[in-house]
Amino acid sequence: MDIETINRWLGAMAFLISIITAVGVWIGAPGKKVAAGLEKVWDGLKGHDRRIQAVENKIEHLPTGKDFAELQLGVAEVKGDVDWETKCQQDARLAILAELARQKPAPTLNVLNLTRVVEALGVRRPREWVETQLSWLENMGAVNLQASDLPGLGKVIVATLTRTGRDHVDQRNVIAGVTLPADQE
């Protein structure tokens, strides 16, 4: 091998090394920018996390929906704003939700059965009045209603308890306009 051949090989190797270096720099430069950008995002997330924790700590000590509902009912009773009919409606709505929650395996009853439940409270009202309470509960998201044609009974409304309704009965959430369930001991 003569010097010219070695020179050519060394030149070719130097050229390949410079290309590989250029490609490495070209590929690595955006990576550094991305790493710097990710570091900024990470720092921002840490700041957000601290603020979220501070808000969660404050929220823990705020009154719950149940507290507000009890306060609202207490103030209304003190002011004399809760008339007998309103109290009957609120009690009937709770009785409906509670009876639906007791149904196994599915929380479903028709309006005829629910009318009997309301009558057991001592609230004697027609079926249409109970249907009005069911419509009100549906508007609040506590029940789903479906009209069914039952043999021998004709068209009746069938109510199914929703998660919102069960949460009220289980005292996990409060629906304003429905009597609060008594604490069970």
Delimit the domains of the chain by residue range. Answer: 1-62, 81-169
CA atoms within 13 Å, Cβ hemisphere of 69: 16
Query: Token digits for 155?
Result: 């068209």
Band of residue 76 on the pLDDT scale cut at 50, 70, 90: low
Cβ-Cβ contacts under 8 Å for 111 (sequence gap 6 or more): 127, 130, 131, 134, 156, 157, 158, 159
Report the percent of the chain where pLDDT is more than 90.
41
pLDDT at residue 158, rounded to an integer = 94
Task: Indicate the range of 9-23, 25-39, 85-99, 133-147 predicted with least confidence.
Answer: 25-39
Per-residue pLDDT band for 77 (boundaries 50, 70, 90) equals: low
Say what the pLDDT of residue 20 is: 85
pLDDT of residue 102: 95
Which CATH architecture is the domain 81-169 placed in? Orthogonal Bundle (1.10)
pLDDT tens digits along 6-62: 888 888 888 888 888 877 776 766 666 767 777 888 888 888 888 888 888 888 878
Give the per-residue pLDDT at 79: 64
Mean pLDDT of the chain: 85
pLDDT score of 185 = 39
Coil, strand or helix: which one is 175? coil
Higher pLDDT, 72 or 173: 173
3-class DSSP state of 147? strand
